[in-house]
Amino acid sequence: MTGDRLLDIQTGFNNIFRQNPHGIWAAPGRVNLIGEHTDYNAGYVLPFALPHTTLVAARARTDGRLRVFSATHSEDRLLDLGLPDLVPAAAHGWSAYPAGVAWALRLEGHPVSGADLYIDGDVPVGAGLSSSASLECAVAIALNDLYDLGLAPAELARIARRAENEFAGIPCGILDQMASVTCRAGHGLFLDTRDLSSRHVPMHFEAAGLRLLVIDTHVKHDLRDGDYGELRAGCEEAARLLGVEHLRDLTAPARLPDPRLTRLVRHVVTENARVLAAVEALDAGDWERVGVILHDGHASIRDDFQITCPETDLVAATAERHGALGARQTGGGFGGSVIALVRTQDADRVTRAVTEASTGHPVPRVFTAIAGPGARRLK
């Protein structure tokens, strides 16, 4: 984080609120290497944090007001909300995330009496890289520090997820928030979402002569449109019919009368197995196997979970055709980004190929993913 960027954030805060912030906090977006839609099924995931972050400059207030300004969203206005009046319908769009965090903290009895928040950042919005969780987690750690709440990282992740589930109305699991809060630089987070036990797994791609490319297709997704909720409800219904608490409890795919539920079950069971296999492959330095796991993971979310789209299918197939060891759509689905594991000498060729193949579609943004640190105070 450069000093110039911190100065810009502090200056922005001062221009809006006419005083200096008490501090500046950052929380990253994330890439999920493998483990898609397994978190709300109490399964395994393997994300890592990006260097891209949401920054929050914050100052405590004592009058019950939450004033929020975002330099990264289209609404060029200061939002002024009364904390005692906050209910899930009180804020919309991006503002539901910081408001939801304050609401969840107060709902659980934490003495948050107000704040001025200035938000900026460089996590691509709508790219499947969890810009929403990075915003929630940056606000959560800021309020935790401002009010000396003493909440542990996993508890902050839980608060942030509650804000997204109950306030913003998105029935996600806890993958994104745990990654944003707890990841370590140079490592992935092997997380068991049932009990939140975890292990930091080294992910030194460049030392192995590899790069993990993130290919943002610019196909935007909105997880509030009902598709995500329907998938979760389908998984829960399948678990009920199979007599288990969560699909994670199954050791093999099972067939149900409804073919759609059978597909959902097959994805979750095989995806959990892919996460475990990916951890073994990373520990062994077996990068060819990691590539196969990415390829198989894309096929599963395309054919069984059915959350890819023509643009991401095209990008994944093109990347592999031009030398990627494996590629798959990452994130909640319905657009967003593709990750491709490539040899360093093949990175430019793969980048050119996916760009040329996207004729008639938005030109993708391609960058190399580097495993960064989790949420932290910067100043």
Residue 38 is encoded by which pair of tokens? 């397994």
CA 79, 104, 239, 128 dihedral sign is positive
Q: Which amino acid is at 243?
A: G
The three-state secondary structure class of 98 is: helix
248-253 contact pairs (CB < 8 A, 24+) = 248/38, 248/41, 248/42, 248/43, 248/44, 248/194, 248/272, 249/42
The full DSSP string for 213-270 is EEEEEEE---TTSSHHHHHHHHHHHHHHHHT-SSGGG-SS----SSHHHHHHHHHHHH
Phi, psi of 85 (to 5 degrees): -95, 0
Kindly list the catalytic residues: 176
d(CA 31, CA 285): 20
Residue 155 is encoded by which pair of tokens? 């508890």
CB 32, CB 293: distance < 8 Å: no
In angstroms, the Cα distances linking 119 to 25, 142, 299 are 10, 11, 37
d(CA 348, CA 172): 35
